[in-house]
Amino acid sequence: MAPGFVLTGLLVATFSIALASDPSPLQDFCVADLNGPVLVNGFSCKDPKMAQATDFSFSGLHIPGNTSNPVGSRVTPVTVTQIPGLNTLGISMVRIDFAPWGINPPHTHPRATEILTVIEGTLEVGFVTSNPENNLITKVLQKGDVFVFPKGLVHFQRSTGYGYTIAIAALSSQNPGVITIANTVFGSNPAIANDLLAKSFQTDTKTIDWIQSKF
Ligand SMILES: *[C@@H]1O[C@H](CO)[C@@H](O)[C@H](O)[C@H]1NC(C)=O
């Protein structure tokens, strides 16, 4: 193989790693055929000539989410599931409602960086770094403040006021995904072995059984 090809190959490999994110579109749009039989990375496209405004819109983000649940928060997603036109575009958004002192428990988005703003109330936010290991980066946000949660890192939010808090966030994937640590570790089906979790959390199996019973 000619050295030029090798170099080009290396450059392509380097750039595709450095710029990894949702795949770049090769056309104006690719409105998701959500019920299509073809399985691809994302969704197959419906005929672009059939695209309509409804494929690119969603209504209802002004409606407060129901926060009557054990954590006191509710995420209303607007991803490719709600807007099929987001398919291949690498972006989505959410509204998050918090009851007073409600939390969005520690979680990660495997496919997205998140940028969040508070439009009502006060919100304590934080994420934990992986390198350097386990530094907590945290801040209390007021209305109008903006904060970034880097892709893949474990993060959380908590409403610290006496009123309701509302946040709007954008995420760098059409389908960011969410892995909520407690639910994943203690609520998997079938359950992860309690003695394995006992050793992981440096506690006893009875404590693990009790926590697992909550999920
Ligand atoms: C909110 O959720 C709770 C618990 O599921 C339910 O009892 C209540 O009716 C819901 N409220 C509204 C307005 O939907």
Distance CA(31)–CA(52), nearest Å, equals 9
For the chain, the first-to-last Cα distance in angstroms comes to 56
The finding on whether 66 has its CB within 6 A of some atom of ligand 1 is yes
104 is in an annotated binding site: yes
- The per-residue pLDDT for 20 is 60
The finding on whether 68 has its CB within 6 A of some atom of ligand 1 is yes
Q: What is the pLDDT of residues 77-136, one digit of tens each?
A: 999 999 999 999 999 999 999 999 999 999 999 999 999 999 999 999 999 999 999 999
Nearest CA to ligand 1 atom 13: 66
Structural contact between residues 153 and 117, judged by C-beta atoms closer than 8 angstroms: no
Domain ranges of the chain: 3-177
- The per-residue pLDDT for 134 is 97
> Is a pLDDT exceeding 60 seen at residue 16?
no
62 is in an annotated binding site: no
Nearest CA to ligand 1 atom 8: 68
- Which residues, including other chains, have CB under 8 Å from residue 182's CB and lie 6 or more apart? 105, 106, 215
Separation of CA 24 and ligand 1 centre (Å): 40
pLDDT band at 6 (very low <50, low <70, confident <90, very high): very low
Share of the chain above pLDDT 70, in %: 90
Distance CA(183)–CA(181), nearest Å, equals 6
- The per-residue pLDDT for 10 is 44
- Give the position of tokens 């997603």: 77
Q: What is the pLDDT of residues 167-206, one digit of tens each?
A: 999 999 999 999 999 999 999 999 999 999 999 999 999 9
> Is a pLDDT exceeding 60 seen at residue 5?
no
114 is in an annotated binding site: yes
User: Residue 108 has which token pair?
Assistant: 């990660």
Distance CA(45)–CA(38), nearest Å, equals 10
Q: What is the pLDDT of residues 107-122, one digit of tens each?
A: 999 999 999 999 999 9
Q: What is the pLDDT of residues 18-51, one digit of tens each?
A: 456 788 889 999 999 999 899 899 999 999 999 9
Please report which residue ranges of 114-160 form alpha helices under DSSP H.
Answer: none
* CATH H-level, domain 3-177: superfamily: Jelly Rolls (2.60.120.10)
- The per-residue pLDDT for 23 is 80
Distance (Å) of CA 138 to CA 35, 53, 114, 147, 189:
41, 40, 15, 10, 32
Nearest CA to ligand 1 atom 7: 68
66 CA: nearest ligand 1 atom:
1
- Single-letter amino acid code for the residue at 139: K
The finding on whether 203 has its CB within 6 A of some atom of ligand 1 is no
Element (H, E) at 184: helix 181-186
Separation of CA 126 and ligand 1 centre (Å): 29
